């Protein structure tokens, strides 16, 4: 086991315990943590660790990955279970969780019957991380207020990727802009879906006081295809 793995195994439990205690104490900090969990998902690889790393492996991950996003998601989930909001259930079964678990069991069977198993375990760990993030979001988002945090965080992530795409195209003269992602083909997937008709879908859940932002949303709606085409160009 490498030195980085030993350091990670020591620090991660402290981060999880500390995060859970802090988020159990403060509802406001839960909002902040959830915002960063969603908005910073595009930079998750900037602060992560890969256990049993195989750098030459050309899959979706090069090890059993664990990042600060996972620390936030697990801390939020545990805090919501230990100290739920007033009037909310401590434990409940989110919709579609059953289908995700069925797929997880299928993956486990596939890994168990494959050889070598290590690279299958890499992909299996990503599914488990995704389920934990899904559960954190399902337990946190219970009303329109939390949904606004989701939309705001997604908007910040899209704006970050759009700004970096413009920097790559206009300043660095990169043919295929990557943003914070590893490959150019991933950038339009991040930019395009959240930008569809934001003036109607995004701003609909905000109060009327935010109606002045709708021209900005309309502008982004027409500019998003340009980012999309520039990111796909080769």
Q: In degrees, to the nearest 5, what angle opens at C-alpha 20 toward C-alphas 15 and 22?
A: 95
Domain boundary among 107, 142, 177: 142
**Domain membership of residue 221 as a residue range:** 145-232
| Least confident piece of the model among 41-55, 123-137, 162-176, 212-226 | 212-226
Query: Which residue, of 108, 142, 176, is where some domain finishes?
Result: 142
pLDDT of residue 181: 67
Q: Where are the beta strands (DSSP E) in 57-179?
A: 64-67
Q: Count of domains in the chain?
A: 2
Instruction: Quote the tokens at residue 52.
Output: 């049993």
**Do residue 45 and residue 155 come from a single domain?**
no
pLDDT in tens, 132-154: 999 999 999 888 888 899 999 98
Is 151 in the same domain as 60? no
pLDDT confidence of residue 107: 87
Give the span between the Cα atoms of 31 and 224, in whole angstroms: 28
Does one domain contain both 132 and 149? no
Residues 102 and 207 in one domain: no
Find the range with the poorest average confidence among 20-24, 89-93, 190-194: 190-194
Identify the pLDDT of residue 161.
Answer: 80
- Read off the pLDDT of residues 33-74 as tens digits, 9 standing for 90 and up: 999 999 888 887 777 777 777 776 666 777 788 888 899 999
Same domain, 222 and 117: no
- Digit-coded pLDDT (tens) for 107-129: 889 888 888 877 778 888 888 98
pLDDT digits 0-9 by tens, 67-95: 888 999 999 999 999 988 888 888 888 88
């Amino acid at each position: 086991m490498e030195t980085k793995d030993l350091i990670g195994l020591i620090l991660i439990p402290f981060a999880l315990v500390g995060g859970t205690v802090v988020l159990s104490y403060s509802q406001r900090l839960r909002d902040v943590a959830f915002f960063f969990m969603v908005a910073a998902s595009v930079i998750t690889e900037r602060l992560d660790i890969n256990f049993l790393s195989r750098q030459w492996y050309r899959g979706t991950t090069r090890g059993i990955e664990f990042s600060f996003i996972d620390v936030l998601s697990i801390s939020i989930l545990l805090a919501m279970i230990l100290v739920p909001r007033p009037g909310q259930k401590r434990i409940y079964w989110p919709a579609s969780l059953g289908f995700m678990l069925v797929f997880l069991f299928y993956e486990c069977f596939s890994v168990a019957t494959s050889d070598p198993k290590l690279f299958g375990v890499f992909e299996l760990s990503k599914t488990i991380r995704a389920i934990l993030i899904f559960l954190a979001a399902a337990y946190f988002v219970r009303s329109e207020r939390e949904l606004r945090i989701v939309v705001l965080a997604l908007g910040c992530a899209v704006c970050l990727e759009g700004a970096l795409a413009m920097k790559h195209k206009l300043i660095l003269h990169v043919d295929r802009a990557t943003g914070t992602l590893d490959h150019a083909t991933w950038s339009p997937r991040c930019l395009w879906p959240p930008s569809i008709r934001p003036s109607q879908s995004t701003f609909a859940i905000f109060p009327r006081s935010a109606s002045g932002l709708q021209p900005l949303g309309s502008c982004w709606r027409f500019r998003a295809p340009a980012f999309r085409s520039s990111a796909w160009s080769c």
